[in-house]
């Protein structure tokens, strides 16, 4: 394994790392390259990867943090807590506020559901909207939140949909029109989002307004993998999805059944990865390169590998870190990859290396697609 060495960042989380994301702040004059992380210690951390320094740590007052998202060109970070809360942290003012709760006054929730298995396990920003955040949780609910929190709908979602099981992962297409949620029972749920109708819904006081729904479940289907989904991501083109499972496999599936074109008529397939001899490790995260559309996988074997999904080829092995790769994130131009080295308990309770966040320079050859001979 050759190439640039991963560099660890100071003041890492004290417990399992759950998410990483580079922050694309509106203030482009700043030389900072901010990386946000969340963990089971309940804190949101910011590092500047350009200087390899710790910027701030903020305890979000909701117990362990399971998920995070930040809209493009925004100085705000949203976190999902084990208590079911969706909270906002404003980087500019270093203040946190509550957006809403899973399990609290959700439509269709019974008294037995409240405060029981309500953790907000997945968050995603709707890419064409700076004010719309999607959340999904262990309460088998999908919510859309207007983070402007007008007085009429404060702490209440603007849309709620039922899911077939606990949410294990979620992603939003880059065009902002689709959300996919992976749930228990190996179900993948595709949701059509019309954020253009959000303004009309939130600005009206008429309870019986005939505005069209902001979101609609358009498809539920089984994963092509036989074991529990650990992560799910849209292709940058939105033509397909990549799914990682606990059984060391990645599946590539296409979306013609929801009206998304597949010009080359490609077929779905799956491949094995993150296996050492007879030991099979979960695929904990998948991150697509923002320029080339290739992707990296992080496994519980502690390795990070890049792949060309179109040519079905492995590109490079990027790193072998001390313990499980819990999550990954490319920066905006794909020249840097952040990696969380954090034991994910695939082997149960045992001694393990401490949590670390590493960043590594990415070479073009490690992510550029293979040229397929005709």
Confidence tier at 309 by pLDDT (50, 70, 90): very high
Distance between CA atoms of 176 and 154, rounded to whole angstroms? 23
Q: Report the pLDDT averaged over residues 65-82.
A: 94
Radius of gyration of the chain (CA): 20
The predicted structure's pLDDT at residue 128: 67
Residues 6+ apart with CB under 8 A from 344: 16, 282, 284, 300, 324, 326
- The pairs formed by 5-8 with CB atoms below 8 angstroms and a separation of 24 or more are 5/360, 6/319, 6/321, 6/339, 6/358, 6/359, 6/360, 7/52, 7/358, 7/359, 7/360, 8/356, 8/357, 8/358
Confidence tier at 207 by pLDDT (50, 70, 90): very low
- pLDDT value at 211 more than 80: no
Using the structure block, give the residue that is written with the tokens 């060495």: 5
CA 63 to chain CA centroid, nearest Å: 19
Q: Give a three-class secondary structure readout of 139-164.
A: CCEEEEEECCCCCCCCECCCEEEECC
Q: Contact, 121 vs 167, CB < 8 A? A: yes
Distance between CA atoms of 217 and 259, rounded to whole angstroms? 14
CA 29 to chain CA centroid, nearest Å: 27
Residue predicted with more confidence, 74 or 335: 335
pLDDT digits (tens, 9 = 90+) for 39-53: 999 999 999 999 999
The predicted structure's pLDDT at residue 113: 45
pLDDT digits (tens, 9 = 90+) for 167-197: 999 999 998 889 999 999 999 999 999 755 5
The predicted structure's pLDDT at residue 106: 47
> Average per-residue pLDDT in the chain?
89
- pLDDT value at 319 more than 80: yes
The predicted structure's pLDDT at residue 118: 86
pLDDT digits (tens, 9 = 90+) for 239-275: 999 999 999 999 999 999 888 888 788 899 999 999 9
Confidence tier at 6 by pLDDT (50, 70, 90): very high
């Amino acid at each position: 394994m050759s190439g640039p060495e991963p560099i660890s960042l100071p003041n890492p989380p004290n417990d399992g790392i759950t998410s990483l994301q580079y922050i694309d702040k509106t203030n482009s004059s700043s030389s900072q390259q901010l990386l946000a992380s969340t963990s089971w210690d309940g804190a949101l951390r910011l590092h500047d990867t350009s200087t390899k320094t710790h910027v701030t740590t903020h305890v979000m007052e909701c117990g362990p943090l399971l998920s995070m998202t930040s809209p493009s060109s925004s100085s705000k970070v949203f976190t999902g807590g084990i208590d079911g809360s969706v909270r906002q942290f404003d980087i500019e003012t270093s203040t946190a506020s509550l957006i809403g709760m899973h399990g609290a006054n959700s439509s269709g929730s019974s008294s037995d559901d409240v405060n029981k298995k309500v953790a907000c396990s997945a968050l995603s920003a709707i890419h064409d909207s700076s004010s719309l955040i999607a959340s999904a949780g262990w309460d088998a609910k999908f919510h859309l939140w207007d983070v402007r929190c007008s007085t009429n709908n404060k702490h209440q979602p603007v849309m709620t949909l039922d899911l077939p099981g606990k949410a294990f992962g979620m992603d939003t297409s880059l065009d902002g029109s689709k959300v996919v949620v992976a749930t228990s029972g190996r179900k993948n749920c595709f949701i059509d989002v019309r954020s253009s109708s959000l303004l009309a819904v939130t600005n009206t006081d008429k309870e019986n307004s005939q505005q069209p729904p902001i979101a609609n479940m358009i498809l539920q289907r089984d994963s092509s993998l036989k074991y529990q989904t650990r992560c799910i991501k849209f292709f940058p083109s939105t033509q397909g999805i990549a799914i990682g499972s606990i059984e060391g496999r990645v599946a590539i599936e296409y979306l013609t059944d929801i009206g998304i074109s597949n010009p080359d008529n490609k077929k779905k397939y799956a491949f094995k990865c993150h296996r050492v001899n007879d030991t099979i490790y979960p695929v904990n995260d998948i991150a697509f390169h923002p320029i080339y559309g290739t992707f990296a996988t992080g496994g519980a074997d502690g390795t990070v590998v890049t792949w060309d999904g179109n040519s079905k080829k492995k590109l490079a092995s990027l790193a072998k870190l001390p313990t499980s790769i819990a999550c990954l994130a490319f920066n905006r131009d794909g020249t840097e990859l952040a990696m969380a080295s954090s034991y994910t308990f695939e082997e149960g309770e045992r001694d393990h290396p401490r949590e670390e966040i590493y960043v590594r320079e990415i070479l073009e050859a490690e992510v550029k697609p293979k040229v397929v001979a005709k």
